[in-house]
Structures are given as structure tokens and as C-alpha cells.
Structure 1
Amino acid sequence: MMKDEYLRTIGYRIIKKVSLLLKKYVNLNNIDNVVGKGYGGDYSFKIDTLIEEYIINQLKEFGLKLLIVSEENGLLKTSSDIEYIVLIDPLDGSINYVSKIPVVSTSIVFYSVDKPYLNSALAGVVSNVFLNEIYSFNSSNVFINENKISSIERKIRGLVSIYTEDPSIVLKIKSFNKNYLKTDVKIRTLGSSSIESIYAALNRIDLFLHNTSKLRNIDIAGGVALANLLKTPCIDLRGEEIKHRVDDIVNIESIVIGIYANELTEKSCKYSINTTTQYFNTSFSY
């Protein structure tokens, strides 16, 4: 078995177990207790720490030489001679989970220590827990519930996910759809960037856009990998490739994944940065 497929198999076994645990624990008392701040800076619920500890212990059982990058505990080495980096997001959509909103994911993504970049994943697994879908990949193939995806339907659906603190971005995207794509657009935010980025990669939604600078590499590792394998555009608002490092948690200033991400950034979304101020150009050309 090739190394990438072996890693995918390991990830699949672990994430499948984790998905069952998350379904089991959802109605337990005290899972919404805040137990402190995690390494990534967010407040951690008891369920976050429980699931992360479980994933880390499961990974250790396989004897891999890992640098584990996790949301709660930070950096953990299982060996002094590291072969792989693994990004763990034990529960993306924690607030959804403790609020009993069924849009949450759990994920593991592997990288070679020689290529520690977000666009160079070897293998990974993301579970859309309450939809009962598991998205996984090795270096050349994408699977949904172990069914290989050979192609995806490409069409405009009029549905986008946007996370921004700049209201003008929403107006610009609506204008882009109306004037360039000749269609209306509906905006949805589900509370799980992992799931939404994957939906964009699979063209279930047209676009996932996030530019609050609060998104981390662990949040969208699976979505970036799937987008690259499925040839779905995945860039930042400058039109540049997403290739952040993965040997620590890093923030992503902006990301756009989706069927018309390239056209969108070319025509309306290129912006300048002046310290903390970000903005779109006001001019359009069609």
C-alpha cells in the first residue's frame, strides 16, 4: 500500500470512530463547559478537549513519527525524527455542536515534513458528522464514504458562503453575480468553515469566501486539498495560491474557493491592504 493511501486509511478509521463518539456525546451534560483557551486562541469546550485527546491517542497507537498540530494542545511530537505533519481539528463548529445545531465536522490531514504547505497534503479525512458523509483523499483521488469521485458537476447554483466584516464585499458579490453571471445569489453561513469549504470544492455551493483574518489553516485544510484535487479554483483575494505553512497554526488572511473564484477576483475582488484596512476596488469591468 502506498504511503498516502495508508495514511488515508488510518485517518478514516480514526475519524469514523470520532464521528460515532460525537453523535453519542451530543446530549451529555456539561459538554458545553468552557475549560479554558486552546492553543489556537479560541475558548475551548469540554467536548473539544475530549475529542482532541481521543484523536491524539489513536494516532499514537499507529506508531507514526508525527508532528501533531492541534487546536487545543498546540504542537506535539511523537518522535524526535519526524516524517509527517498532521493537522487536527477535533470539532469544527463547536458552538453549533453545543447548541445542537447539526453542522459540525472533525478532521485529520497529513503532510510530508519535506513539504509543510497547505497545498501539498498527502492524505486526509473530514467527517460531516450529522450528514453521515466522510470526505477523504490521498495524493490523487477523492472519496465520499469510500466511493471514489471521478468528476463533479460544474454549474452555477446561486448559493455562496461569505465570512467578512466588510459589508461592501457582500454588495460587490451580488453585483458581480447580477452583472457578470446574470443570476441572483443567496448567502448562507453554516458555522463550519471546514464543511463550507468542502461544499465549494465539490460545487455544492458556488463559492466559499472568508476574509476576516481569523480563519486558521486547520479550519480549511481538507477543503483546500479537495479543491486542488478536483481542480476547483482555490486562491486568496489577490488571486494568489493558498500555500501557508502547516507546521504550526497560522491565520489565513483571505481565501476564495469555488467555481468562479478566478473570475471573481479578476473582475471585482482584488483589494489593497493598508495596515488593518482591507477593501475592494470600486471599479468593475465586464
Structure 2
Amino acid sequence: MMIDAEQLRRISVKVSSETAGLLRDLACSEDLGRVVSGETTVADKRAEDYILDLLRRELGQVQVISEEAGGAASKTSDAPIALVDPLDGSTNYLSCITWCSVSVAFADPRSGEILAGSVAPVYAGMPVSFARGKGCYHGGLKVEDPRIRGSIISVYVDEPGAIESVAGAIGRLKGVRRDFKVRSLGSAALELAYTAIGYIAVFADLRARLRNIDVAAAVGAVRECGGVVTDADGKPLRIGVWRVERVGSVVASLDEALARIAVGGGSG
């Protein structure tokens, strides 16, 4: 029998927060940037191993999808799927820059529905979490009135072609609000999570390189808080959960009109 979404949310908060604490304790150690395989560093591996141990202690049976463990989940299993990004913003982390996060999301293996998740900042701040149909949370408090409070447009442009696409989005959005400020901070999951609670007005990553494990928890939070998440064509973003896969470009906002304008589907 599947565990209910609220219990999974609580587990995701515990796992992501405790792993963030581990990474905080290890921060700026010399060996953490050493590559152990592919693009996986010692920091990634230490955090992922810690998460896997916590998940097994909390749940017993769990199907883990992550960069290092890889894996392919079964649609016939009763064990929930955990989509794990043990360290988002690893370049920041390894440079001793305090903007990075840990993401854990849970999905139903039969339907593929993302049920709960948490994005925990490694340094300052409280986790942003959600349970499907039960609301979104900032720390231990339910977000009762999700609305845009900030004026930041979060963008990512470090791929060929992305600069032109993002420049168009910024121009259209500034046509709506001249006070919008553009930032690219280095942890897409954390910026998406802050979009869910309105600290960031619009998130736009048009590099087409984000993966399901990077954004599953944060995308779930944006949607549960009443926001929209689309691809570069303005279509609802689809996230597969049974293996690691790219989801492509991501645009998100609590304001559907701003998201449409960002992708060129609305008037500025």
C-alpha cells in the first residue's frame, strides 16, 4: 500500500534537511570536488549515500532514481519512487558559495504522479515542500496565500541559443513591470522552490538541459501553490519518473499571465 502524500512530504523534508546539514558540515573541505565518476564528485556521492541510507530507514522499500544510482523504477511495484538530487548548485558549493540545495521528491510508481517533495537550502533558509492536494509549506508553516512578493526574474543562459531566447523573455516581462530584476544564482531547484512561494516572480531556464531529478520536487511545489510550469512552447511541463531523463526547458510563475509572456504567448 502506498504511503499517503502528507507522510511522504514529512519524510522528504526530514531527508532533504538532514542531508543539507551534512553538506553544511562538510563545506569547503578540500577533497569534496574530486570526481569519482562521470560528473559526480565526492560531495555528490557523500550526500547521495546519506540520502539512500535515510530513505531506507524511513521507508524500507523505495525505488530510487538519481544521477549516481541511476535505476529504472517498476510500474508494478508498491514501493514509492524517490527522485533525488543530492546537491543542486554543486559549482557554487565547491566554490564555497552559499546558494545550493538538496531535492527529494516522491512519485506513485503506477500513475507517475508526483505526490510530495522538498527542496532544502544547504545554508540559510527553510525547506520548501508540498503534498499533492494538501498544500505547500515553507518550513513548518503552510503557505496560505501564495502570491508573488518579489521582483526577481531567475534565468539561466549558459548554453548556445539560450541567451537570445532569455533576452526576449526579459524584454517582454520588463514591458509589464519595469522594476523586474534579473538574476542567475546557480541552483535551479532552489530558485524554482522560491518561485513557488512568490519570492521569485518568474523562473526561466531555456537551456533544455534540466532533468527530472533536478526539478521534480520544486515543480510539484509550484503547482501545489497554484502556479504554472511550462516548457519553452508554453505547454504544461511533463515529468517522467521511472528513470533519469531530461525535461527540457522550464518556465514557471505563480502568475499564469507572466509565464505566458515569458514564452512569448502573451502581450507585454
Structure 1 length as normaliser, TM-score? Answer: 0.83
Unaligned runs of 5+ in 1: 38-42, 271-283
Change (3 A) 1:46 1:209: same
Letter in 1 for 2:148: R
Q: In the alignment, what sits opposite 2:88?
A: 92
Q: Is the 8 A contact 1:233 1:261 kept in 2?
A: yes
Alpha-carbon deviations, 1:52-108, whole Å to 9, x = none? 011111111234432210111211779x94431110110101111110000010121
Change (3 A) 1:148 1:35: same
Deviation at residue 130 of structure 1 after TM alignment? 0.7
Q: In the alignment, what sits opposite 1:281?
A: none
Within-5 A mapping of 1:84-233: 84-116=80-112, 120-139=113-132, 140-154=134-148, 157-164=150-157, 165-166=160-161, 167-179=163-175, 181-233=176-228
Q: In the alignment, what sits opposite 2:17?
A: 16
Equivalent pairs: percent with the same residue? 26
Alpha-carbon deviations, 1:168-192, whole Å to 9, x = none? 223322331343x142432111110
User: Larger Cα Rg: Structure 1 or Structure 2?
Assistant: 1
Structure 2 length as normaliser, TM-score? Answer: 0.88
Q: In the alignment, what sits opposite 2:242?
A: 247
- CA distance in 1 between counterparts of 2:254 and 2:129 reads 20
Within-5 A mapping of 1:19-38: 19-37=20-38
Q: Is the 8 A contact 2:165 2:206 kept in 1?
A: no
Q: In the alignment, what sits opposite 1:276?
A: none
Q: Which has the higher contact order (CA 8 A, sep 6+)?
A: 2
- CA distance in 2 between counterparts of 1:171 and 1:182 reads 15
Unaligned runs of 5+ in 2: none
Change (3 A) 1:48 1:178: closer
Q: In the alignment, what sits opposite 1:40?
A: none
Q: Is the 8 A contact 2:204 2:262 kept in 1?
A: no
SS across alignment from 1:106? strand
Letter in 1 for 2:227: T
Change (3 A) 1:141 1:64: farther
Q: Is the 8 A contact 2:222 2:254 kept in 1?
A: no
- CA distance in 2 between counterparts of 1:209 and 1:29 reads 33
SS across alignment from 2:193? helix
One of 72, 76, 83 as aligned partner of 2:68: 72
Letter in 2 for 1:159: I
- CA distance in 1 between counterparts of 2:193 and 2:181 reads 18
Deviation at residue 264 of structure 1 after TM alignment? 4.8
Report the count of equivalent residues.
263
Q: In the alignment, what sits opposite 2:233?
A: 238
- CA distance in 2 between counterparts of 1:144 and 1:158 reads 19
Change (3 A) 1:106 1:99: same
SS across alignment from 1:239? coil
- CA distance in 2 between counterparts of 1:61 and 1:285 reads 51
SS across alignment from 2:31? coil
Alpha-carbon deviations, 1:219-250, whole Å to 9, x = none? 11122111111111211122211122111111
Deviation at residue 193 of structure 1 after TM alignment? 0.6
Change (3 A) 1:183 1:71: same
Alpha-carbon deviations, 1:163-219, whole Å to 9, x = none? 23333223322331343x142432111110100111222221111111212111111
Letter in 1 for 2:93: Y
Q: Is the 8 A contact 2:118 2:218 kept in 1?
A: no
